[in-house]
Amino acid sequence: MNDTFLKACRGEQTPYTPVWFMRQAGRYLPEYQKVRRKVSFLELCKSPALCTEVTLQPIDIFGFDAAILFSDILIPMEAMNLELEFHEGRGPVFPQPVRSQKAVDALIVPDPEATVPFVMETIRLLRKELQVPLIGFAGAPFTLATYLIEGGSSKVFLNTKKMMFQEPELYHHLLLKITACTSLYLQAQARAGAQALQLFDSWAGILAPCDYEQFALPYVRSIIEDLRAMTDIPLIYFANNGATLVRHTVTLGADVLGFDWRLPIGDAIRQAGEHAVQGNIDPVALFLPKERLEQRIKTMLADAREARGYIFNLGHGILPETPPDQVRIAVNAVHRCSGR
Amino acid sequence: MNDTFLKACRGEQTPYTPVWFMRQAGRYLPEYQKVRRKVSFLELCKSPALCTEVTLQPIDIFGFDAAILFSDILIPMEAMNLELEFHEGRGPVFPQPVRSQKAVDALIVPDPEATVPFVMETIRLLRKELQVPLIGFAGAPFTLATYLIEGGSSKVFLNTKKMMFQEPELYHHLLLKITACTSLYLQAQARAGAQALQLFDSWAGILAPCDYEQFALPYVRSIIEDLRAMTDIPLIYFANNGATLVRHTVTLGADVLGFDWRLPIGDAIRQAGEHAVQGNIDPVALFLPKERLEQRIKTMLADAREARGYIFNLGHGILPETPPDQVRIAVNAVHRCSGR
């Protein structure tokens, strides 16, 4: 069992720098595309056998130091009594956006073991196969709320912010339900055998820090408190585009803070204090010619040498267009340049 | 003549805080929509009489302390020998993206007086009408390049970054031409009577600071040096989503740094050193109920009290959905709470 990743999460010494990539199981891999030709994205997410297969692919191919459960942050939202569709090239769609008290009232806080048992089954199957730690995950409440309120992705998040600003009680009511659902969901993942949990706050970076503090932070804190009460596995919080939120995110009680590429890793480490740090090379830097990619990784490792614990990752999900050979170059460079 | 804005740009004492809004002449105004029903967006941009009319509208209606030339950052790009289209709801499109040496070679660096004379004519007309200073503007070279390379707007800017990383000489060649064009364009605006100039780096925030330093900063610096040699009007640089770029942007030699809403204004002012600062309320905060909007403005003015010079603005362009009455509330609150 390779526990380098878990040690780095806990700020313990590691023989080399562990590495995994957000969305490492995904569309850039021909092996994944082969599976996807047989089933839709939602069907894939609900099949423990296929989820297990695609989760294992990048571990077997590239030797990543951690696996992350293949799923989507919106899977547990569907279980709240919402219709969810995925359209090729357009992303997720909730045909009935949640914008009224009636719509919020109609949401249930489901028992994940009853509504999304396939996720826990995938975790149990993966634990039998894996020689590296398995990361479970969920979306952070604010990010999940944006999808529900907007009905999908958005550019300026007008409906979400309008609800925050004009109907704060309705917003709070919605977020409490999402938070309860997410907390139960992550607890179930931990019970099923997840060895670390990551909260993805993909849209945190659209908020002014004063609004983040009021409309996003309290719900993340609540989930982390719930998890702390039942497990001691490492908790990772990733606020995308969150460079100006660090003074708030360091108060959350997570073990690891994940960063996108906009904040230099040395700055991230200084601001993260006692936290381990995960990140943060620009996903498009994987398109650099081999020597310059290796040089960039070497520089990042050097800049991260003062970290209490450091996990190499991309600053965002790997792009579908990424050549798998470049992933191999990057993973090998992280390992070689950090002493493996 | 109300010169409060120009004084604030220069860091001089002002009797109250000047305010203008990015895109203050635009779609949220019924008076603007009335003009647009007669002409297309490009026709409007090329009509000095109509540009003058819509530029004046928000000054007359709300009493902003500065006017900004109505135009689009891509107008001078079209003059480089590119086809440019604007599609309702989809934004600008260059049907032939610039991605090859041949495409870069085909670009000309035009004389703005010959190719976009309507812009300078608009400036001359406006100066006869205005009792507040007139701001001219251009896109910053990196931002302009993204539109040319991607062929329009983008989410991850894969083509732009791939050119940066894989064909840096081609990228540099393209940026040099855009920079020359932009420098001549802004010089012509200054000669025509613009009393301040703003460079919009709308997409700077997609770059890691190390890439910004190499692939965006030098071209902005070059333009500012050119302008300094021919005029002493205030120069404003706005890097959207640029909170992690400030250590670089303070070296550019601009008078004023503009900020989006992600960086608290107090932090922006501390990091901006000797610069005047412009910004930065979330455009969606204009949807707050009256009392809370006024409170938020009051807090921002208090947080900005240590600024060497401070210009109240939004952190990004005003949204088309904004109720004009809310703009009136905001402008009045800035004036009243800052002592006018």
Q: Which helix (H) or strand (E) holds B164?
A: helix B158-166
Mean pLDDT estimate for chain A: 97
Amino acid at A95: P
Beta bridge partners of A313: A280
Complex ipTM tops 0.90: yes
Whether CATH 3.20.20.210 fits A4-337: yes
Rounded (5°) CA angle A128-A134-A139:
135
Is residue A246 within 8 A of residue A227, CB to CB? The reply is no
Per-residue pLDDT of chain A (340 residues; tens, 9 = 90+): 999 999 999 999 999 999 999 999 999 999 999 999 999 999 999 999 999 999 999 999 999 999 999 999 999 999 999 999 998 778 899 999 999 999 999 999 999 999 999 999 999 999 999 999 999 999 999 999 999 999 999 999 999 999 999 999 999 999 999 999 999 999 999 999 999 999 999 999 999 999 999 999 999 999 999 999 999 999 999 999 999 999 999 999 999 999 999 999 999 999 999 999 999 999 999 999 999 999 999 999 999 999 999 999 999 999 999 999 999 999 999 999 998 8
Write down the pLDDT at residue A306. 94
A228 as an active site residue: the answer is no
pLDDT at B27 over 90: yes
A270 as an active site residue: the answer is no
Kindly state the tokens that stand for B300: 């921002």
Nearest CA in chain A to B208: A262
pLDDT at B91 over 90: no
Is residue A252 within 8 A of residue A296, CB to CB? The reply is no
Alpha carbon of A251: minimum distance to chain B alpha carbons (Å): 18
A182-221 residues touching B, CB cutoff 8 A: 205, 207-211
Write down the pLDDT at residue A262. 98
A65 as an active site residue: the answer is no
Q: How many percent of chain A have pLDDT more than 70?
A: 100
DSSP-derived letter for residue A245 is G
Backbone angles phi, psi at A276, to 5 degrees: -70, 160
pLDDT at B144 over 90: yes
Q: Which of A157, A244, A288 sits opposite B243 (nearest CB)?
A: A244
Q: Which helix (H) or strand (E) holds B135?
A: strand B134-139
Return d(Cα B219, Cα B180) in angstroms, integer.
9
Write down the pLDDT at residue A90. 81
Return d(Cα B63, Cα B56) in angstroms, integer.
10
Backbone angles phi, psi at A184, to 5 degrees: -60, -40
Write down the pLDDT at residue A316. 98
Write down the pLDDT at residue A91. 87
Whether CATH 3.30.200.20 fits B4-75+122-140+188-216+226-337: no
Mean pLDDT estimate for chain B: 97
Give the domain ranges of chain B. 4-75+122-140+188-216+226-337
Return d(Cα B168, Cα B148) in angstroms, integer.
16
Helices (H) and strands (E) in chain B, counts: 17, 9
DSSP-derived letter for residue B317 is P
Kindly state the tokens that stand for A197: 């949990």
Is residue B20 within 8 A of residue B5, CB to CB? The reply is yes
pTM above 0.90, yes or no: yes
Q: Which residues of B are part of the catalytic machinery? A: 23, 27, 36, 72, 147
- Ordered alpha helix ranges (H), B106-167: 112-115, 117-129, 141-150, 158-166
